[in-house]
Each structure stands twice: as structure tokens, then as C-alpha cells.
Structure 1
Amino acid sequence: MGFWIVAGAGSVLVALAIWAGFFRPRGGDRPAAAYDLQVYRDQLKELERDVARGVLSEADATRAKAEVARRVLEADRALQAAGGAGSAGRRSDAGLLGAGLVAMVAGAIALYWQIGAPGYPDLPLETRVTLVEEARADRPGQAEVERSLPPRPPIATDPERAALVAELRQTMETRPEDIQGLTLLARNEAALGNFRAARLAQGRLVTLLGDQARPEQLVDLAEMMVLAAGGYVSPRRRRPCSARLRWTRATGLPAITQG
């Protein structure tokens, strides 16, 4: 409730500030007819002073006053017309501004209600870490994720290459411990988009090599596992110490384990 009170008060204050700024008088809003009217009035006063000083005769002053009075009436009519149009435009702009402010506040509340978490309690850092650890421990394994994924669409490839890969698969069924064959099979299956088959072949290769597995072979296995799971990183089980990468100053890479 406290959040809604603060957020609502802030939204109302911002809307009021915008509204007040819109209606604040500005010097540039004065129409040109108002300046003309002021000039004509000053001219009438100047005529009176000229007559008093004897610079201008009464007859000439009368004719000049009549001309200035005519201009005063025209300027006054123009000023009234401009004021009416300005008031109508001002009212129209005020209506649009009010509707926009209401829509802005309502839209912000609706957006937060849709993608936010109203009423969600605060989570201390320790609780967040515990929740993350629990989610990490309970996430599905590699095989489960692979089974849940829909079949991948086949990648267009050279028919001759596809035939060679099919022949290589048959050969590896009779020679499951052929290191070179497993290497070729894993690479070609990955090139064809068969990441699960590539992962199985690479995992078999790393298992056979044991302590002799090279770092790049472990990296390839980790990459194939992620690709086979559709970008998901499954829980990893540690391999023997001599068959995994450790954090080193030379490479700056963390240990990679199979899972």
C-alpha cells in the first residue's frame, strides 16, 4: 500500500506541475493588436500635448484624432477577435492536455499492473540467494531437456555429404571405440544440426580419452551440450580432476565439466 501511495502522489504532483506550466502566462502570448492599440493611445495623448503647447491647431488635432480613433477601433476589434480565437484554442489545448495527463497516469498504472508485481514483498539478499540456489539445484538435467525439445527442422545439405555421414554412423556402430571416427562423427553431426547425436559422439570420445582428453575437446563437448539443449545449460556433474579444465591464469577459463 505504501508503494501505491507514494507512486500515486508522485504522479499527481507531476501532472499538476505540467498543468500549471501550461496555464502560466507568457510574455510572448500578447497579440500584435494589443501593441498597436497602445501605440494609438499614446498618439492621442501626444496630440493633446501638442495642442497644449500650441504646436498643433485645434482643427488639425481634430482631424488627426479622428484618424487615430478609427485606428483604435480597428485595433480593438482585432484584439477582441484574437482574444476569442485564443481562448477557444486555449480551451481546446487544455482539454487535450488534461486527456493526455489522465491517459499517461492510467497507462503507467496499467503497464505496471501487467508486467510488474503488485503486492510482492521485499526479498532480502540472503533469501534471494537461497531461492537462486534452490532453483539451480532443482532444474532439469540434460537428457530431460533434450527430450522435451521439439524435433529440429533438417538443415539443407549436400546429398553426397549426407550419405557419407550415414555411412559413418553405420561404421561407428561396429567400431564404437574408434577415436578418429568419433571425432569425425561429432563434427559432421553438429554441422548437420544433429546436436544431440553430436553431443553423444563427443561425450563418448571424451570418455574414451579419459586423462588424455584435450581442453578443446572438452570445450566442444560443453558447446554441443548447450546446443543440444536449445541454449539451456544443464546441471553439470564433475569428471575426474585430470579430465576437466580448471581456472588458470594462462587461459582465464573456468573448469568445464560434463553433465
Structure 2
Amino acid sequence: MLFWVIAAVLTLVASLAVLLPLAAKPKSKIAGSGHDLEVYRDQLSELDRDLARGLIQPAEAEQARAEVARRIIRLGGEEKLDSPTSRPASTKLRLISAAAVLAVPLISWGTYARLGSPDLPSQPLSERLAKNPGESSVDELVARAEAHLSANPTDGQGWDVLAPVYLRMQRFGDAANAYRNAIRLLEPSSDRQSGLGEALVNADGGKISADAKLAFEASLKLDPSNPKASFFVAMGLAQDGRKDEAVATWQKMRAGLPQGSPWLDAVDQALARAEAPQAPAANGPSKEEMEAAASMSSEDRASMIAGMVARLDEKLKLNPKDAEGWMQLIRSYLVVGDAEKARDALNRAVSVFGPDSEQAKKFVAFASSNGLEVAE
């Protein structure tokens, strides 16, 4: 009810602020013009007296009399314009403006009453957080937990409950902070350590950082059969180029997984990628080609290098999954001073592996480190 009272008062004040100037009558100039006419008559009388006393010349008196006469004529024209018969258009315009001003709040209120929800009760955050948790949304529950932890930052159990929720909401930085608080306030556990590692990996775009690796290793010390920690440790080995160790870790992990485990599919896919046969790499110039290039003239050498770069480009079209070949092609174009082709090669490489892939990030970092300007 208070809302409607405030809205009505504000609407009334806004309407009056516009209506009062429109309703005011224009000030009449008739009384003022009568006084001006008396002044002009006195000026004419004064001219006659000065002329009679010889204070001014007849020609000067005539000029002054003509000027006063012009002022009197102009004053008479203003009185005609200010007469009631000359103001119907102005009155009509004020009436139209007043109607328009009144129509705005009336139409607005009528539209809201028909299409809006004037009877819907207010829902302040404090009341929403105080209602039955079973009737609350996830965001409301998280807000309630955050308010509780803000007032009770040493509640380790609260951080322990909130951390995996943050992880599912993809708030990875908050999840890592919550896991650290839970580990600090409670005792370290395998699940908390592996959760911390997973949050760090996701926050870093899939890269197994040193902190994430330490968290997974700590998790496995507490529980060697933790599937999440085992999986990410193997992924870290694969990212470091230790593919055989990664495959062995995944195979050992798979052998110990129970039937129906959600990690079976993830392990099978990782093994399929790791054990897939690699196409021949797109090699650069051979030692013989480099020795031959050293004995050539600068023009012939440039032509030979351009031919080798072109062949490398063609090989990559046949084998686009050769990550090392793409980096070699980008470097080769930069060496010969063709930044545009280097940028084109970078874009093609990113397109092949996917803009959000870890390999694409490596391509961009490699190109930047070799002096290629890369758009963010």
C-alpha cells in the first residue's frame, strides 16, 4: 500500500509541475502600456517648451517629435496583439498540452493495472533466504550459505558443503578458495584435495598446474584409489609429453574401476586419444638441404626457403593434426618476414584444434613469443 501512496504523490507532483505553468494566465501589458503613453505625451510637451525657450533648434525638435510618435505607434500595435481576440490559439495550445500531461499517468497506470501484477507481494532478499530451503532456488541457497560464512568464516563444514556447489556452478575461483578453507579448518581429505585440484585445473583452462598436481598427489596419498585424482595425474603426464606413463596410469586406473563407474567413459576416451596412431610429421628442411642453401646466392637461397615453406604448408594440409608442424610453419613464415602468412597459418592451426583447446593456446603463446602480434 505504501508503494501506491508514494507513486500517487510523485505522479501528482510531476503533473502539477507541468500543469501550473500551462494554466497560468499570461501577464497583461495593457496597464504598462498606458503608463508608457503618458510618458511619451510628457516628452512631446517638454519638446514644445524647449523649442519655445530656444533651447533646441526647430529641426532637432521635429526629429525628436517624430521618434516619440514612432514609439507611440509601436505601443498601439502591441496593445492590439495582446487583446483577447488574439489569444485563442495560445489558449487552445495550453489546453492540448494539459490534456497530454494528464493522459500520461492515466494511460501508464491503466496499462500497468491491466498487464502488470499490482497484487504481487514484495520479495526482499532477507525474506527469501528465511523461507523453507526446499522452496528456494540454488542461487538463493548459495546466497544464504555465503551470508552465513561471511558472519562465520571459521565454519569449516560450511566451506566443505559450498565448495562442490561452486564447482558445479563453474565458479572455479570461488570453489578453489572454499576447498582451501575447508582443508585449513577441517582436516585434509582425499576428496577435498582432488576437488581443489579439479577447481584449479578448470580455472586454468584445463592445464595441470604445479599447484593442481600437488593437490592430486596429496589426494592419492590419502586414498590411492581416488579416481578423480588418478585421472588428472595421468592427464598431467600426457601434457608433459610422458604419454607412455599416462597410458599406463589410465590403464591401471581402469582395471580398478567398478562396473558402471562414471569414470569409465572418460578413461576410455583418454586412452583412445593417447593410443591413436600419429600421422607422419611435416618435417622441415633436411641437413643436406641446409648445406646446399649455405652455398647459394641470397636470391637462390630465398627461393629455396620459400619452396621448403610451401612444401611444409602442403604437408600440413594433408596432415592438419601435426601440432609441431604448425609451429614450424609459423616460425618459418616469420623468419622469411611474411607476418601475414604466419598469422594465417596460426588461424588455420587454431581452427583445426579448436579455439578453446589447450593446443590452440599453445599456438597463440608460441606465435607471440616469436614476435607475431596476436589479437586478443
TM-score normalised by structure 1 residue count: 0.39
- Return the index of the structure with the highest Cα Rg: 2
TM-score normalised by structure 2 residue count: 0.29
Higher RCO (C-alpha under 8 Å, 6+ residues apart): 1
